Structure 1
Amino acid sequence: MLYYDIKILFCNTSILHYENTIDAYDTTMLYYDTTDITMLYYDIKILFCNTSILHYENTVDAFDTTMLYYDTTVLHYDILILHYDIKLCFDIKMLHYDIINL
């Protein structure tokens, strides 16, 4: 859960915006190639894809296949976001319920 929270916080972007702009992800990859600032952001995505960072560093072609794999996991990621949002909403409602019961 902590890892998931960090990922959500670090991405700091609208899921709807991400779904509508595949090109934005491609430019993010270009941005990653030119700067070290997004290294953590990229590492989190790689971990989510369950891919070895070392493997990526040693093979550029592996990066291309990782991108393909990542694209197929977007739906799974969106479902996790939805699940997280529902759980968060539920937790808030439960807290509200607990306060009312006090």
Structure 2
Amino acid sequence: MSRGPGIWQRQILERLARGKVVILTGPEHTHAEQNAIRRAAYTLEKAGKLRLISHRIHGVARLVAVPVDDELWNQLPTRGVYGLDGKIYRKPIGIILHPDDGEPR
């Protein structure tokens, strides 16, 4: 039985509380860490604590967490794409996100 947010969930929520969007995974994370971070983010999204969108950063699609109440980010359209496995995946939309500070460019 869970006793609250896990370590990855706390880190994501802390960064969002500082008013930034959070680029969730990158090449500095191991495969296991990327899976744990994504799982934490999907759980937070399901609980309504954030919104997940997909962006291309340096040509690579990355999952990005944005605050639920952020008007700019929540105006962006989201697109789902069905994979060969039948799951729905997020398709990147056409905004360039600066990887250093999480600000749109």
Q: TM-score, normalised by structure 1?
A: 0.32
- Return the index of the structure with the highest Cα Rg: 1
More strand by share: 2
Q: Structure with the greater relative contact order (CA < 8 A, sep ≥ 6): 1 or 2?
A: 2
TM-score (norm 2): 0.32
